[in-house]
Chain A
Amino acid sequence: MGFTAITTVAITLFIVGVFSVILFDVQGVLNSIEGQVEIAVYLKDNVSNDLKVYLENEIKKWPEVDSIAYVSKEQALEKFKVQNEGSDILKEIQGNPLPASFEIKLKDAQKVEQVALRFVDKDGKSIDGVDEVIYGKSYIRKLFSITAIAGTIALLIIIILILATMVLIYNTIRLSIYARRKEIEVMKLVGATNGYVRAPFLFEGFFEGFLGGGIAVVLLYLLNKFLLIKGETVIVETMHIKNLAILGSSNIILIAYFGIIIIGGLIGILSSGFALRRYLKV
């Protein structure tokens, strides 16, 4: 049996699994952050009601905008009080120094800068009625491009690993074809069909891939059980992020397990198929 081949399939698919989990989760975290991205447009105290309504209606028409909420001076003060309850700062506040604002949520976090800049004119001054615009700047976008690059690199590594396993399985099949060459010759000469001659080797390849995939899944399961589920709890509690997909309890990980076993079997069948094409001419 191709012990090396099975081990390599297992290691490769385990790495594939770990990469997928990490990428999936980072994506999940970013998506949750993305959902929270908003632009705060602070209004001048003396802004007229007409201008306020006009601005609100204009902003609503922008296609990038998901929702817009008006926060009046009073609501802002309320919020501030809740957030800073018990703090000395409250005693120092006189009257209401907080501005009214629009809180704008976007459909796509990557557009944040583009939208925010509409509140600034050519000279870099805020437009009429607007005091200041605060937004998440471009760090989100950077995070996205970093994960995209990491994803591409991971994909490349995975492809290389898969190719390496295919070469290994290919070789074990080549060796077993060689070891059984006399039998194969006799089989063919007495009239065994091509399928009959090939089936055991295809099965051997499939079995190696399948078993390797199975081992990888067991390793992933253990990793998930003893590391990721605990990690998930920590992340959820500290970062208040709900939708961590693969990590821990999500059902998506079952699909991943299943997929990995299937990929293992496919790798096996493909590699032995190639070996048969090359070494078992009929």
Chain B
Amino acid sequence: MNIIEFRDVSKIYENGTAALKDINLVIKKGEFVFLVGPSGSGKSTFVKLMIKETPVTSGTIFVAGRNICILKSSKIPQLRRNIGCIFQDYKLLSDRTIFENIAFALEVIGKPNYIIKAQVPQVLKLVGLYSKMDSYPHQLSGGEQQRICIARAFVNRPPILLADEPTGNLDPATSESIMKLLSRINLIGTTVVMATHEKSIVNAMRRRVVEMEEGLIIRDQKRGVYGS
């Protein structure tokens, strides 16, 4: 089943930058896909289009078979609840503890308290930061903050997880532990799309690699590597 499909998708920002040009891509349910390419090649734009953070200029995007380009604005929340997103710039709230940050994502979609109390500690254990739940984001290292982002994106168990540079600026060991975490999440059936420009990680994983350059897909390879 195609869980994500891009058909002739182009994105031109208001200032005229063409970030994506006629992208065609199909991602199947349960896949783990690396989106690789140099800075500015359009990886984050790809992610933003999927959650309708910004609209497409032309073409169509299907998520779970539904055309999200014609989605009514009242249906966008539903789409986003099904796509966990790890943002390149974390987007953690600095005046809230780790527990509160993750609980926030459940609260605002109307989850009752007892579910929040059960699920937040559980997902914190999954990312190995249970002991830090009363800390504030600035008291955590970069890698720990990344794992909090994963926890927040995953706490609602969405069928799709988008990870935009989840290993950016991390040392190899920390990156490896984050990759293990994402693999585990993928193993339980979650479709994972990860944007990165780190060769070593991609090469170590041997998963599908979609390579982009200046808004175009220049390579799509099963069990690929980054740069030959």
Q: With A and B bound together, what is the CA distance between A87 and B108 in angstroms?
A: 88
Answer yes or no: A185 CB below 8 A from chain B CBs: yes
Answer yes or no: B104 CB below 8 A from chain A CBs: yes
Known A196-B108, A196-B110; judge A189-B91 contact (CB<8 A): yes
Please tell me if the beta carbons of A189 and B80 are within 8 angstroms of each other in the complex: yes
Answer yes or no: A182 CB below 8 A from chain B CBs: yes
Please tell me if the beta carbons of A186 and B80 are within 8 angstroms of each other in the complex: no
Please tell me if the beta carbons of A192 and B77 are within 8 angstroms of each other in the complex: yes
Please tell me if the beta carbons of A189 and B53 are within 8 angstroms of each other in the complex: yes
Q: With A and B bound together, what is the CA distance between A276 and B3 in angstroms?
A: 34
Known A190-B105, A190-B108, A196-B110; judge A282-B73 contact (CB<8 A): yes
A132-165 vs B: 1/0 string, CB under 8 Å? 0000000000000000000000000000000000
Answer yes or no: B78 CB below 8 A from chain A CBs: yes
A271-282 vs B: 1/0 string, CB under 8 Å? 000000000001
Please tell me if the beta carbons of B74 and A194 are within 8 angstroms of each other in the complex: yes
Answer yes or no: A183 CB below 8 A from chain B CBs: yes
Q: With A and B bound together, what is the CA distance between A189 and B87 in angstroms?
A: 10
Q: With A and B bound together, what is the CA distance between A191 and B51 in angstroms?
A: 10
Please tell me if the beta carbons of B85 and A189 are within 8 angstroms of each other in the complex: yes
Closest to B110 in A: A196
Q: With A and B bound together, what is the CA distance between A183 and B105 in angstroms?
A: 10
Residues in A whose Cβ lies below 8 Å from that of B81: 190-191
Least CB distance, B137 to chain A, in whole angstroms? 11
The size bracket of the interface on A is: 10 to 19
Query: Main SS of the interface on chain A?
Result: helix
User: What are 10 A-B interface contacts by the 8 Å CB criterion?
Assistant: A182-B93, A186-B91, A186-B93, A189-B91, A190-B81, A190-B108, A191-B81, A194-B77, A196-B108, A282-B76
Taking Cβ atoms with an 8 Å cutoff, the residues of B that contact A are 51, 53, 73-74, 76-81, 85, 87, 91, 93, 104-105, 108-110, 152, 156
Q: With A and B bound together, what is the CA distance between A253 and B55 in angstroms?
A: 54
Please tell me if the beta carbons of A193 and B77 are within 8 angstroms of each other in the complex: yes
Least CB distance, B101 to chain A, in whole angstroms? 9
Known A182-B91, A185-B91; judge A190-B109 contact (CB<8 A): yes
Answer yes or no: A90 CB below 8 A from chain B CBs: no
Q: With A and B bound together, what is the CA distance between A57 and B51 in angstroms?
A: 87
Least CB distance, B51 to chain A, in whole angstroms? 7
Report which of B80, B87, B93 forms a contact with A191, defined as CB distance below 8 A: B80
Answer yes or no: A227 CB below 8 A from chain B CBs: no
Q: With A and B bound together, what is the CA distance between A197 and B105 in angstroms?
A: 12
Residues in B whose Cβ lies below 8 Å from that of A193: 74, 77
Least CB distance, B82 to chain A, in whole angstroms? 8
Closest to A282 in B: B73
Q: With A and B bound together, what is the CA distance between A183 and B94 in angstroms?
A: 10
Answer yes or no: A187 CB below 8 A from chain B CBs: yes
A158-192 vs B: 1/0 string, CB under 8 Å? 00000000000000000000000011011111111
Please tell me if the beta carbons of B91 and A194 are within 8 angstroms of each other in the complex: no
Q: With A and B bound together, what is the CA distance between A189 and B51 in angstroms?
A: 8
Please tell me if the beta carbons of B74 and A190 are within 8 angstroms of each other in the complex: no
Closest to B155 in A: A190
Q: With A and B bound together, what is the CA distance between A147 and B74 in angstroms?
A: 51
Least CB distance, B13 to chain A, in whole angstroms? 16
Q: With A and B bound together, what is the CA distance between A188 and B80 in angstroms?
A: 8
